[in-house]
Structure 1
């Protein structure tokens, strides 16, 4: 076994490790973005639900006043 094949194998493993780390980093970035997007949508949905509840309460009050 020559020193060149040992060095080539070491370089290959280093490149492979870096490629795996880059792939994991990209996947983690996508997951982080998706989580932030979901949290933002959940927050907006909560605001809409609160507004709808207030509208419903006002509607019931007006309906009772007109009865």
Structure 2
């Protein structure tokens, strides 16, 4: 079941691409104020989710130390 959740959850690259698209849309001079607020809210949600993903990745990272043993990064 966790494989199914991973497939549905966007990856970091997808999230960053979405954030970039949101920024592009917000820079459009024809965007309405209501649409700008909706884009802003969506952007914040994407940034928060990306931050949580990065935290999870950082906690899972291991490095090989000088003794040849794995330890947390």
The structure where helix makes up a greater share of residues is 1
Instruction: Give me the TM-score of the superposition, normalised by structure 2.
Output: 0.44
Q: Which of 1 and 2 has greater Rg? A: 1
The structure where strand makes up a greater share of residues is 2
Instruction: Give me the TM-score of the superposition, normalised by structure 1.
Output: 0.47
